[in-house]
Amino acid sequence: MNAVTWVACGLSATGFALGAGLWRARRRYVVVTVEGASMAPTLADGDRVLVRRRRIGQVRRGDVIVLEPPLDPSAPYQPGPPASDGRHWNIKRAAALPGDPLPAGVAGQDGLERVPAGAVVVFGDNPDSIDSRHRGLFPADHILGVALRKLNGPAGSGGLTTEADR
């Protein structure tokens, strides 16, 4: 092989490796823009957040999570279909996970002592947030992932803490 062929092969391999790396990163991470004040003061309207895709077993109490709201906000929790990217996403803090004691004030859950399997309790940091206090339990299979950090704002302000970090 001559030098031109080696260079062409090297560039092709590098391009393929970069493409595969970008594809893998897009499958693991998503950037979400916050709309509204439900997570104020932690997150403000317009903040951009890096989210790592996670399932309920990888979520910790206190994590800021992105999830799809229940399909029927007036109905009590029923397991539903997995979230789809074509729907509206919420960003809230995971307050209680399956098996945890049910926090006071969760709508429509009279008599329930623990969060059932397949459900999660979420609260916005803003007390006026529309969350489990108004909508009850959220389906755990609607979780997109855990917010890792803000991508905008002052340098060093990007980390989002969990209950374990406090």
Instruction: Domain ranges for the chain, please list them.
Output: 29-165
4-60, pLDDT tens digit by residue?
A: 777 666 667 676 666 655 555 556 899 989 989 999 999 999 999 999 999 889 999
Which one is catalytic: 38, 129, 132, 150?
Answer: 38
Q: What is the pLDDT of residue 163?
A: 44
Domain 29-165 CATH assignment equals 3.30.540.10: no
Which one is catalytic: 12, 74, 84, 92?
Answer: 92
Q: What is the pTM of this model?
A: 0.74
DSSP 89: -
Active site residue 38: yes
3-class DSSP state of 8: helix
Q: What is the pLDDT of residue 102?
A: 96
Active site residue 92: yes
The CA distance from 64 to 62, in Å, is 6
The CA distance from 93 to 122, in Å, is 5
Quick one: pLDDT band at residue 3, thresholds 50, 70, 90? Answer: confident
